[in-house]
A and B are shown apart, each in its own frame.
Chain A
Amino acid sequence: MQNAKCKVKNGRGAISTFALRKFPFATVLISLFLGATVIPSSSDARLAPRRAVLENGLVVLTSEQRALPMVTFNLLIEAGSRFESAGREGTANLVASLLTYGTRTRTATQISEALDFIGATLSAACDEETATVSLTVLKKDLQAGLELFADVLTAAAFSQAEIDRQKQSVIASIRAKQEEPGQIAQEKFREALFRDSAYGRPVEGTMESVGRVDRGALLQFYEQYYRPNRAILAVVGDVSHEEIVGLLQKLSRSWERRNSPSQPPPTPSPAAAGFIRINKDLTQANILIGHDGVPRNHPDYYAIQAMNYILGGGGFSSRLMDSIRNERGLAYSVYSAFDADKYAGSFQLAMQTKNESAGEAIRVAMEEVRKIREQGVTREELQAAKDYLTGSFPLRFDSNRRVGAFLTQMEYFGLGLDYMERYADLVRGVTMEDVLRAARSRLQPDKWIVVVVADQSKAH
């Protein structure tokens, strides 16, 4: 997955959403699976992002888009699960989910009534590094929506009754995850790769640790980490930079900056390699093969993305899709991805195949990795990868919500406001040698962690 956002959520964090109503869609089968979320390259004057830093340290990015009477807010804040105390895993996730369940002046029900009455959508989610809070509102309800947004962010109440409700709900989602073999594989993989560190634990915590989190811990986390100097806000839509910055200055006056305790980011576990088998009554083996990757600022980032596009990131243009799916009919979905976060990353190759062909699929996938490490790629393959990466970049910005998400990530990773202009050259600069080096240094078969969730009596 070449993802400028560089963050695969995998449903690991909790997501709470208001106003679930969408325009009714008939049930459909998306039949051809494109593992890659598309991405990066070329400039588009239409976005014209602007940046401001408020007095309290909040970074604001705006893109004025007048075509529809709507405004989208996307706030990213460094308040992920790695900042929580040991023994209280699940704190960060509970804080994020409880934001919309009551403030000093509004009950949970008042908040949901108010949001639904204006048809707004407000959601909060959390992963290992960051929490995100998003709001989409009609232009005519901008003031009302923004007041609610500021309220949940700066004046959440964490009442005991809501905490109890939310804990019950988190415990249910921990159970629900056990129904999804892909989620189980993902959890086991991270646990092995980042053993004994915050990245290796599920964001929701465990049933036991969630039980231990009390109101004091939630309030303390909220006070320490929900601070404007740790946050980036993108506002996209039918509003000018000046208007929105003015509104935000006023609304966020009481939101004070504070220095939070610093914590060094976790590192991958040195001896992670191994085979992990989980037995479940399934018809398919869910297979995940991988090891550590690179952080987003790695100098070989673009070479790695081009190499991975050819290996397994490029959907139907990838070698893995060719050999696993098209030639052998072993899987419906197969892909590989370098997930590059701010301080760490991982490489994953994922597929599902009937229990009986698990061994064959793993062998074929590993053979593809061996080939790309030994022989590199052809000039034509590299050119096709570059053409896709650069050509599809502008298509990334086909909705306000996607623009908002992109702008926060651009700031978070320090890519600069001119990133959109620079992107194409960064990709075009990748050489055959770069790709070979990326394959040899970043695909490391001696470090394989292989997770197979399957009916083990049939999977070989």
Chain B
Amino acid sequence: MMRRAILALLIVVFWALPAGASQVREFVLDNGLKVLLLEDHKSPAVTFQVWYRVGSRNELDGKSGLSHFLEHMMFKGTPTTGPEQYSRIIATNGGRSNAFTSADHTVYFATMSREKIGVEIELEADRMANAVLDGATFGAEKQVVMEERRLRTEDNPAAALGEVMGAVEYTVHPYRRPVIGWMSDIENLAREDLRRHYALYYAPNNAFIVAVGDFSTQEMLAKIKTEFGKLPRGAEAPKIKVVEPPQRGERRVTLKKEAELPFLAIDYHVPNLKDPDNFALDLLSVVLAGGRSSRLHQELVYHQRVARNVGAEYGGLSVDPGMFSITAQLLPEKQPGEVEKAVDAIVERLRAEPVGDKELEKAKNQVEAAFVFGQDSVFGQAMRIGQYESVAGWRLLDQYLEGIRKVTAADLLRVAKKYLDPDQRTVGTLIPIKEKN
């Protein structure tokens, strides 16, 4: 990873700083609410996000999808704001707003101008404490969530395969359940479930705020203190202590569904980014499938012509250990078994021989460039800060590039040997069938 020229290096260092994570300012209010602020005056936009430390990871059997359903119901108003009024108020103030739920967190956000962002802050503080969850909207919204499940999972072959794989690769950890929930669970969720979940997890001390954009830190902090500072601290949220036992032996899953192209996915258990091996795992995913010159792309897409596209992703951004996933969408009439063998050969080579210096340098360059490009939008920056904070603390972001630069070819070899072990993987195959009728 040698630099080209000193001048180029200086430019990078000088310019990377103003928008880097190091400029994040952290504050903690008396009620336990953590606030992470990053000024960025590139554009007139401000992104404001509230991250609750609750997701499908915090759910119980029979209640899957509860966090996500609650997220929907958070738009049904408070004593002072009517159902769905939140979105209208944000829009008439020129803002865009939305929310999402993952296994680990539930996030509400809006992007607005500096002049208007106060409106969002007031509304978020209001619904953190005063959401009306059991109004007349409950039944219709449950139907909406069921439609969402049909759209995202039931009628989407690759997503359906992912869901079945999750249920097999985890035996006891809650990651085995889909974020959106099983259909019968969604159907059976009750108003009381929502109220309990809200009471347990929606409190300032179980949340944090990320704001990035065109604002002054002092003004932003003052407004946040005014609106959120008055909310009472909640009881400590229950801790999830489930540990997935080590996998000893490969697991295999097939899904038969109406589809055009076969799909192959291979998931290996890996640690999250709290583990020092996270940098090497990140680079392994780039060596395997980062760009068209990567090993999987060259071999499967370009030379052997068996896959339409390939992917490799290190899922280090999860609160508990996640998966390293390799995926391939096959070309028509190709055999998943054959493609699996080809993938295996490539992975086994990574576990047997060190990658060359130039290839390692290329992977590091790709990671560094992507890191800079990732600062192009305020929303992207806020997401990155929030995800790090939710897993291991945002300060780890500061060590990211340094950690990547330090990785050696010997590290990659050791880490590939350790984690890309066939005994610790689940292989999933989508087998297309013609319509059933």
Contacts and interface: CB of A to CB of B under 8 A. Distances in A.
Contacts of A333: 151
A140 B44 contact: no
B27 interface: no
Contacts of A138: 12, 369, 372
A178 B358 CA distance: 41
Interface stretch (B186-194, B309-317, B417-425): B309-317
Closest 5 pairs between A and B when the two form their complex, measured CB to CB: A391-B94, A119-B369, A329-B143, A316-B87, A329-B140
A391 B147 contact: no
A176 B155 contact: no
Contacts of B367: 21, 119
Interface in A336-395: 352-354, 383-384, 387-388, 390-395
A6 interface: no
A50 interface: no
> Which of A38, A140, A238, A400 counts the most B-chain CB atoms under 10 A from its CB?
A140
A331 B44 contact: no
Interface in B1-46: 4-5, 8, 11-12, 15-16, 18-19, 40-45
B335 interface: no
A165 B302 contact: yes
Contacts of B282: 24
Interface stretch (A110-118, A218-226, A410-418): A110-118
B120 to A, nearest CB: 13
Contacts of A397: 43-44
B293 A109 contact: yes
A189 B259 CA distance: 22
Contacts of B145: 332
> Which of A24, A109, A284, A387 counts the most B-chain CB atoms under 10 A from its CB?
A24
Contact of B84 (A21, A140, A172, A322): A322
A20 to B, nearest CB: 6
A317 B101 contact: no
A353 B147 contact: yes
A256 interface: no
14 contacts: A29-B68, A67-B19, A68-B19, A70-B376, A112-B291, A115-B291, A172-B261, A172-B331, A315-B87, A325-B144, A326-B83, A326-B84, A354-B146, A398-B111
Nearest to A37: B96
Nearest to B286: A21
Nearest to A117: B362
Interface string A38-55: 100000101000000000
A29 B96 contact: no
A392 B84 contact: no
B291 A21 contact: yes
B218 interface: no
Interface string B142-154: 1111111011101
Contacts of A65: 42
Given A31-B72, A326-B84, A21 B366 contact: yes
A26 interface: yes
A-side interface size class: 35 or more
Given A24-B314, A68-B15, A70-B372, A391 B294 contact: no
A388 B94 contact: yes
A315 B365 CA distance: 39
A404 to B, nearest CB: 11
Contacts of A317: 87-88, 91-92
Nearest to B88: A317
Contacts of B103: 26-27
B142 A329 contact: yes
B258 to A, nearest CB: 4
A25 B155 contact: no
Contact of A109 (B260, B302, B358): B302
A387 B427 CA distance: 51
B436 interface: yes
Contacts of A34: 96, 98
Interface string B78-106: 00000110011001111110111111100
Interface in B341-388: 358, 361-362, 365-380, 383-384, 387
B52 to A, nearest CB: 13
Contacts of A402: 377
A395 B45 contact: yes
A181 interface: yes
A169 interface: yes
A344 to B, nearest CB: 29
Interface in B308-340: 308, 311, 313-318, 322, 329, 331-332
Nearest to A171: B332
A11 to B, nearest CB: 13
A19 B291 contact: yes
Given A28-B102, A281-B435, A69 B94 contact: no
A330 B147 contact: yes
Interface string B230-267: 00000000000000000000000000001111000000
Contacts of A327: 140
Interface of A: 18-32, 34, 38, 44, 46, 65-70, 108-109, 112-113, 115-121, 136-140, 165, 168-169, 171-173, 175-176, 178-179, 181, 238, 279-284, 314-317, 322, 325-333, 352-354, 383-384, 387-388, 390-395, 397-402, 457
Contact of B147 (A25, A29, A44, A329): A329
Interface in B119-159: 137, 139-148, 150-152, 154-155, 157
Contact of B99 (A27, A31, A108, A325): A31
Given A384-B92, A390-B94, 18 more contacts: A20-B291, A27-B102, A34-B96, A38-B96, A44-B43, A66-B15, A117-B361, A140-B4, A140-B12, A316-B88, A326-B83, A326-B140, A329-B147, A332-B151, A354-B147, A393-B94, A394-B94, A398-B43
Interface string B378-421: 11100110010000000000000000000000000000000000
A247 B123 CA distance: 50
A390 B371 CA distance: 32
A168 B261 CA distance: 13
Contacts of B107: 28
Contacts of A176: 260-261, 308, 329
Given A172-B331, A281-B435, A140 B8 contact: yes
A447 to B, nearest CB: 28
B11 A140 contact: yes
Contacts of B208: none
Contacts of B379: 398
B289 interface: yes
A92 to B, nearest CB: 21
B102 A67 contact: no
A441 to B, nearest CB: 26
A115 B377 CA distance: 23
B313 A24 contact: yes
B305 interface: yes
Contacts of A173: 308
B66 to A, nearest CB: 13
A331 B147 contact: yes
Given A117-B362, A175-B260, A399-B376, A384 B91 contact: yes
A31 B15 contact: no
A66 B45 CA distance: 17
Given A19-B291, A315-B87, A326-B84, A394 B44 contact: yes
Contact of A119 (B101, B331, B366): B366
A116 B366 contact: yes
Contact of B15 (A69, A178, A284, A395): A69
Nearest to A395: B45
> Which of B44, B137, B383 counts the most A-chain CB atoms under 10 A from its CB?
B44
Contacts of B140: 326-329
A395 B318 CA distance: 30
Contacts of A25: 317, 383, 387
A112 B293 contact: yes
